[in-house]
């Protein structure tokens, strides 16, 4: 028989309370477990979300890596194309340089200068232009007794200038040895340079030169070209009576001498003097209708070329003083041919010897030379630049009036400080320079007469000589220190 125990009430209440508390705790634990499970589920969900995002990032990274690789490939490809473009550009640049170089060689070159009027130094005032820029000027080396061509030896009007014996009909007989005129150029045989029986004269051939001259903003401009660069370029010195252009102009190798009735250009002769202008012109024309006296156009051309290659307005300092002192009579004039063996250019620093430029002896000094083609008519310069429309005359009839001379009513003179550069030549306008500043040349004028000009100076006038222009004598004047030289106006 089973025993039954009956506890007292207090004990039962205690057990009940304990049981209820235990149940509460169990419930709390259950809730905590459930909450923990929920959190674990949340964590699991978060982890799964992270895994998903990680997968996405991985996919994105792989995609980015692919794109980066693509960009890298594109960049490398582009770099290669850039290199190709650069190579092509370099090739084009090289070809362009070659083409430009060829064009520079083909285009007509222009050698020019401008003279700054306000600058007194005769070298500093001359500035090279166009293809002359950077070239070295030519000059005599007086100490060594040699002429230095600088950069000019191969320029056409220097290179192709040569001495010739020319027949009276205007045709060339033969070329002379440029370093010894007593010999023929090809064979070396004896020449006729001093032979008075020869039917012609010794002449210097100046190749065709087109010239543009003008004055602007205090500068005198002179530009030379082998062809007619534009309509502003003229070949006055090379124009024949019929208007055609000769490939050469022929100036006198020697001062004019008179043999029988003719004015000649030969070696070993006494320079002619003491004739008036009418007699001199007649003696020149006695050689034939192709001959005349040295023209204003030719004289300007030579002096302009000397300023260019010497880069100075003091041509005597650069090329030689010439025979400018010691003369008192015709007996003091130098016999022609003193520089026969001295080449194309030669001069001395003293004032007792001859000078030579472009194979022409005593282009200044020794004896004044009369010109045709310019008349100073009562203060106005009148010119005839070519032999077209009739011969040159000594009155200015039919000539073109160019400009007024020095502003004066009476005769006077002085050293040229400024001059007006016109298409027809250089005309003194302001005096007040010296023999070592500005133009370094003297000018004398008489506005009350009709003057036939004389140029160059003589052995009685010292440093007045050079590119000096005297317009103070009438055509009838004759003097021991004044003569004339030949010019071939119509070469065959």
The predicted-structure confidence for 64-87, as pLDDT tens digits, reads as follows 455 545 645 554 665 566 566 576
Residue 12 is predicted with a pLDDT of 42
Lowest mean pLDDT segment, chosen from 3-17, 169-183, 371-385: 3-17
Q: What percent of the chain has pLDDT over 90?
A: 78
Q: How many CB atoms lie within 10 A of CB 391?
A: 13
Residue 210 is predicted with a pLDDT of 98
- The beta-strand segments (E) located in 76-145 are 110-116, 126-130, 139-141
Residue 19 is predicted with a pLDDT of 42
Mean pLDDT across 212-219:
98
- Using pLDDT thresholds of 50, 70 and 90, give the confidence band for residue 50: very low
What's the pLDDT tens digit per position in 447-488? 999 999 999 999 999 999 999 999 999 999 999 999 999 999
Mean pLDDT across 109-113:
98
Residue 47 above 50 pLDDT?
Answer: no
What is d(CA 69, CA 59) in angstroms, rounded to the nearest whole number? 15
- Using pLDDT thresholds of 50, 70 and 90, give the confidence band for residue 2: very low
- Using pLDDT thresholds of 50, 70 and 90, give the confidence band for residue 58: low
- Using pLDDT thresholds of 50, 70 and 90, give the confidence band for residue 90: confident
- Smallest CA-to-CA distance from 366 within 338, 396, 344 is with 338
Instruction: Give the chain's mean pLDDT.
Output: 88
Residue 279 above 70 pLDDT?
Answer: yes
Residue 321 above 80 pLDDT?
Answer: yes
Residue 181 above 50 pLDDT?
Answer: yes
Mean pLDDT across 379-394:
97
Sign of CA dihedral 139, 141, 145, 146: negative
- Using pLDDT thresholds of 50, 70 and 90, give the confidence band for residue 107: confident
Residue 36 above 60 pLDDT?
Answer: no
Mean pLDDT across 382-386:
98
pTM above 0.85, yes or no: no
What is d(CA 474, CA 80) in angstroms, rounded to the nearest whole number? 85
Residue 255 is predicted with a pLDDT of 98
Query: Within its chain, how far is the Cα of 219 from the centroid?
Result: 15
Lowest mean pLDDT segment, chosen from 92-101, 145-154, 273-282: 92-101
Residue 171 is predicted with a pLDDT of 98
Residue 195 is predicted with a pLDDT of 98
What is d(CA 304, CA 423) in angstroms, rounded to the nearest whole number? 12
What is d(CA 88, CA 71) in angstroms, rounded to the nearest whole number? 25
């Amino acid at each position: 028989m089973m025993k039954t125990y009956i506890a007292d009430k207090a004990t039962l209440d205690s057990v009940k309370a304990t049981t209820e508390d235990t149940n509460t705790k169990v419930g709390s634990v259950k809730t905590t477990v459930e909450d923990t499970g929920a959190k674990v589920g949340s964590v699991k969900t978060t982890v799964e979300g992270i895994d998903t995002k990680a997968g996405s990032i991985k996919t994105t990274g792989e995609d980015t890596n692919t794109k980066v690789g693509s960009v890298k490939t594109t960049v490398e490809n582009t770099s290669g194309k850039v290199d190709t473009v650069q190579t092509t550009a370099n090739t084009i640049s090289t070809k362009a340089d070659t083409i430009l170089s060829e064009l520079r060689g083909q285009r007509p070159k222009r050698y020019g200068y401008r003279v700054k009027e306000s600058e007194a130094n005769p070298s500093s005032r001359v500035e090279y232009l166009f293809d002359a820029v950077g070239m070295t000027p030519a000059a005599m080396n007086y100490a060594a007794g040699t002429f230095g061509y600088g950069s000019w030896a191969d320029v056409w009007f220097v290179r192709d200038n040569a001495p010739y014996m020319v027949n009276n009909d205007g045709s060339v007989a033969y070329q002379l040895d440029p370093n010894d005129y007593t010999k023929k150029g090809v064979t070396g045989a004896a020449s006729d340079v001093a032979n008075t029986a020869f039917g012609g004269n010794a002449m210097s051939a100046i190749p065709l030169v087109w010239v543009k001259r003008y004055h602007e903003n205090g500068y005198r401009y002179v530009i030379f070209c082998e062809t007619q660069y534009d309509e502003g370029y003229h070949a006055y010195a090379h124009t024949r009576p019929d208007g055609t252009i000769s490939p050469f102009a022929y100036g006198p190798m020697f001062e004019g001498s008179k043999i029988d009735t003719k004015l000649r250009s030969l070696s070993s002769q006494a320079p002619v003097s003491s004739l008036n202008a009418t007699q001199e012109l007649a003696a020149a024309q006695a050689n034939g209708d192709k001959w005349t006296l040295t023209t204003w156009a030719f004289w300007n051309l030579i002096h302009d070329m000397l300023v260019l290659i010497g880069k100075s307005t003091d041509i005597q300092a650069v090329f030689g003083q010439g025979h400018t002192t010691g003369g008192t009579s015709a007996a003091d004039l130098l016999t022609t041919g003193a520089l026969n063996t001295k080449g194309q250019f030669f001069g001395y620093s003293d004032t007792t010897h001859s000078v030579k430029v472009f194979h022409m002896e005593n282009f200044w000094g020794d004896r004044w030379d009369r010109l045709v083609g310019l008349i100073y008519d009562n203060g106005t310069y009148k010119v005839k630049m070519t032999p077209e429309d009739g011969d040159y005359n000594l009155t200015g009839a039919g000539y073109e009036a160019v400009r007024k001379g020095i502003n004066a009513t009476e005769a006077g003179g002085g050293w040229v400080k400024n001059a007006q550069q016109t298409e027809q030549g250089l005309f003194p306008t302001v005096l007040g320079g010296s023999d070592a500043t500005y133009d370094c040349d003297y000018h004398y004028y008489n506005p009350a007469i009709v003057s036939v000009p004389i140029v160059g100076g003589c052995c009685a006038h010292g440093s007045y000589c050079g590119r000096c222009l005297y317009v103070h004598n009438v055509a009838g004047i004759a003097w021991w220190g004044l003569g004339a030289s030949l010019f071939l106006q119509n070469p065959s």
